[in-house]
Structure 1
Amino acid sequence: MALVLRPSVWFYHEFGLVSVYETGGNAWLIILARSLRMFAYGTNSLILALFFAEIGFSDSQLGLFMTLTLLGDVFLGTALTLVADKVGRRRILLMGSALMVLTGCIFAYFENFWILLFAAVVGVVSATGGDFGPFRSIEESIISQITSPSSRADVLAWYVTLSALGSTAGSEASGRIIEFLQRRDGWTLADAYHSLWWVYAIFGFLNAGLVILLSKACEADSQQEKYAQVPQEESEDNSIELVESPARPGAVALDGPTLPPPPKKSRFSWLSGWIGNISTPTLSVMWKLWALLAVDSLADGMVPYSLTNYYMDDKFHPSKAALGDVTSVSYFLSAVGGVFAGPMARKIGLVNTMVFTHIPSSAAVLVFPWPNMFWLTAVLLFVRAGLNNMDQAPRSALIAAIVKPEERTAVMGITSMMRTLAATAGPTVTGLLAGSNRFWIAFVAGGAFRLAYDIGLWVIFVNIKLHQHEEVQPEMVQTGQQRQHDDNEEMGSLAGSDEDNDEDDRTTK
């Protein structure tokens, strides 16, 4: 019995599943919602560029479409994120789900470039296969709120890992569905592409259903109640004397402490209201991280998975099923890599995990155009994808550990805006390069930018102090070594109990 349970108990504790379980139902719902949403994103990340090529759009139009779509994500996602704490996080997530449904229905029916562009800009569509828009920033802020510092990295790691599995299933399913529908009488390739957008809309409905099930503990006001101000001590003499006002004879005024007049609102008070929630020390640190993330996002925007699939399809002409298999394996390896992000962050630290896993991935992007064989190119894609997501959970945990709890939603929203805004220039540049048969330059430049980000991140943030604004309670969630020790004692006790039972049986006989 001990030999069977020991590996399962060790995995349960060492890889952070205990943290997900102890966090509660809200964490489960958020992780499931993102996994289903990434399934939908996985379907359209495979076909988006191929879909546009099939209905007659040029490479330059494709680049323009992806750039403007990312710009739409910048403004829509940032606006919704910055007001989420005031309007309600669940309401904003529900609104994003409705926009996702609307976008899927329009793409499933229309083929006009401008109608599709309008739907992508004002709606929610993943132009790069990533989770842009209002969802991720708000969800990460909620997870940071409902977790402790010791369990946060583990929960965020599974948030990333299971969503990557969703992308895996979506990419695999889309390739198979397209191959199946193409063999049916009267179905064209464009018809098969259209059918996948109905799947996208259905998963938008499912995402909305899970958002409705979230509790009030996900809202910002539930956190603010913990920091309610203690009322000031009342003075011994609370009497107020009525005297005649010198400014207005006959009028009665209160003889007591006078309050200063309310400050006049600036014409830019709406902007300062958003940024004003972030303290100056936090901004001084975050500007450095935002600059580095902008470089990394520019690189990712130049060679997203949708354009990478387009590059492999144009260079090697594989079947859509084979291309879907490669993309699916890439996302699966990304999920497997994400499992190890939490344990590695506990062992070597958040920044070291981000840097040392991202460097090999960046190198794979740099040399991606070199092979002339499809299988070797696929191997480089596997290396890139398998290690690429291991920095996501530590990055979110790093931001949550740097900023104050009340600043997290705004900071994460601005972080998403900065990353998306930097990524907008990438597709346009890549589209122009693809039209002039210089697509390979995008991968070389992207890999070089990513390596610059890795080095800069390690140099600036390796010694930064974490958790200065919250109380760390390590007893709430044990470290890996403590869990290992307790598990060994538990398994030893269980094994000893089994031996005692066997001895009693022999004595009875």
Structure 2
Amino acid sequence: MRGLRAFADGYVSLLLPLYLLALGMRPFQVGMIATGTLFGSGVLSLLVGLYAYRFTSRMLLLMAALLMAGTGFGFAAVTHFWPLLVIAIVGTLNPSSGDVSVFLPLEHAVLSGAVEERQRTTLFARYSLIGALAGASGALFAGAPDVMVATSRFGMKTVLQSMFILYGLLGLVSALIYSTLPREIGIGDRKAPAAPLQKSKRIVYILAALFSLDAFGGGFVVQSMVALWLFEKFQLSTTVAGVIFFWSGVLTAFSYLAANRIADRFGLVNTMVFTHLPSSLFLILIPLMPTLSLTIIMLLARSALSQMDVPTRSSYVMAIVQPGERAAAASITSVPRSLASAASPLLAGYLLGVSTFGWPLAIAGVLKIIYDLLLLGMFRDIRPPEESDQKH
């Protein structure tokens, strides 16, 4: 399911700004809709975090998949700004190459209850690997509208609408697949019944605040905004942009496997920080590159490092909280990320509307470096059980 959803996100995140521009919207309005998608995902994830323990994971995943279907069909049918903004807020559309939707905390909680502690980071690395490879394929698929326009009598607007219809159909397929899960998936003798956040509250809130800072920076460089910058500065076609983000996704995918090996040797927090720092430096350098070739090199170098903290971060949060609080912890650390990142695309759209320099990328790099240093200083000595066992 992670792969299927990532494929849809991979092409939609690139086509979203093109579709909105084709509808006559300005970069600032594109940023507003990207902000709406992230804000809505955050609110929905918060509700899941507060009330997930009352429902089965299967039911919640089914409802999320149906919401995904409605989002795709809504974007295909509606062409005016304000209704699209409403659909963006209540729906599951993702302007990023990573997963920021309500599916994420639900699946994390299920996966954490399905394996032993020592297998958890490996499982999250594979989960992220599949998502990144599928997302890369989706980015490549974003070039399909150019081919369809060239080989048919349909205009670009109609073709782009068909891509959102496909997104909705993938949501229906997701619902069918989720319906085959056992009712009590993820609940076993090693996982306590889901509960609201209690014993782990303080540490989860601190992590949520730090992750919010990182996400606020990341919101400036969600894939839709980076694509918009490339379209505006270099006048790239969708096909070329799709190829760039395809290879970016491939590098990201295999970095997850490397992250698992590094974490086994150096620990989860060290892996999160010392792979993230150089990627943030690359972000600051990207706007300074004088040619498209150098810009692409910097983007790819950043992609090879920037997401190594994704499986390690997920594993770390699941490791240091009580088993019964994992669903709540996953949501509460995800929600502020979505809400914090929601404001950034709006600002990025404004900045891109007044300058093609790439200020959003530089700002994102600085904020992410601050996050890395704070995380290292505050959590270096708080180890998950498997690292404590190794230490002894």
Q: CA deviation at 1:108?
A: 1.9
Q: CA deviation at 1:128?
A: 2.5
Q: CA deviation at 1:364?
A: 1.1
Contact 2:284/2:366 (<8 A) preserved: yes
Cross-structure match for 1:208: 175
Alignment of 1:45-444 (within 5 A): 45-175=13-143, 177-220=144-187, 222=188, 277-279=197-199, 282-437=200-355, 440-444=358-362
1:439-481 deviation per Cα after TM superposition (whole angstroms, max 9, x unaligned): 522211110001111111112111113229x997x9xxxxxxx
Contact 1:337/1:390 (<8 A) preserved: yes
Distance in 1, Cα, partners of 2:91 & 2:337: 19
Query: Cα gap change, 1:227/1:201 in structure 2, threshold over 3 Å: closer, same or farther?
Result: closer
Distance in 2, Cα, partners of 1:142 & 1:442: 35
Query: Cα gap change, 1:149/1:219 in structure 2, threshold over 3 Å: closer, same or farther?
Result: closer
Q: CA deviation at 1:305?
A: 1.2
Contact 2:233/2:356 (<8 A) preserved: no
Letter in 2 for 1:70: L
Distance in 1, Cα, partners of 2:259 & 2:267: 10
Distance in 1, Cα, partners of 2:380 & 2:285: 27
Moved more, 209-218 or 388-397: 209-218
Root-mean-square deviation (CA, aligned residues, Å) is 2.1
1:237-284 deviation per Cα after TM superposition (whole angstroms, max 9, x unaligned): xxxxxxxxxxxxxxxxxxxxxxxxxxxxxxxxxxxx985x322xx222
1:183 aligns to what SS in structure 2?
A: helix
Distance in 2, Cα, partners of 1:360 & 1:54: 36
Contact 1:278/1:411 (<8 A) preserved: no
Alignment of 1:405-484 (within 5 A): 405-437=323-355, 440-467=358-385
2:385 aligns to what SS in structure 1?
A: coil
Q: CA deviation at 1:219?
A: 4.6
Moved more, 437-446 or 360-369: 437-446
Contact 2:229/2:356 (<8 A) preserved: no
Distance in 2, Cα, partners of 1:160 & 1:219: 19
Letter in 1 for 2:164: W
1:218 aligns to what SS in structure 2?
A: coil
Q: CA deviation at 1:304?
A: 1.0
Which consecutive unaligned segments of at least 5 residues does structure 1 have? 1-32, 229-272, 475-509
Q: CA deviation at 1:98?
A: 0.2
1:348-392 deviation per Cα after TM superposition (whole angstroms, max 9, x unaligned): 111111111111211111111111211111111111222122111
Q: CA deviation at 1:185?
A: 3.9
Distance in 1, Cα, partners of 2:192 & 2:217: 41
Contact 2:204/2:332 (<8 A) preserved: no
1:135-192 deviation per Cα after TM superposition (whole angstroms, max 9, x unaligned): 01010111111111110000000000110001011110121x1121110343222122
Letter in 1 for 2:329: V
Letter in 2 for 1:193: L
Q: CA deviation at 1:319?
A: 2.3
Contact 1:85/1:219 (<8 A) preserved: no
Q: CA deviation at 1:323?
A: 1.0
Which consecutive unaligned segments of at least 5 residues does structure 2 have? none
Contact 2:272/2:309 (<8 A) preserved: yes
2:307 aligns to what SS in structure 1?
A: helix
Q: CA deviation at 1:110?
A: 2.2
Contact 1:81/1:134 (<8 A) preserved: no
What percentage of aligned pairs have identical amino acids?
A: 31
Contact 2:205/2:332 (<8 A) preserved: no
TM-score in terms of structure 2 length: 0.94
Distance in 1, Cα, partners of 2:332 & 2:357: 31
Query: Cα gap change, 1:467/1:107 in structure 2, threshold over 3 Å: closer, same or farther?
Result: same
Aligned pair count? 390
Contact 2:205/2:333 (<8 A) preserved: no
Query: Cα gap change, 1:95/1:441 in structure 2, threshold over 3 Å: closer, same or farther?
Result: same
Letter in 1 for 2:306: N
Distance in 2, Cα, partners of 1:287 & 1:83: 18
Query: Cα gap change, 1:148/1:56 in structure 2, threshold over 3 Å: closer, same or farther?
Result: same
Distance in 1, Cα, partners of 2:192 & 2:303: 41
Distance in 2, Cα, partners of 1:211 & 1:187: 35
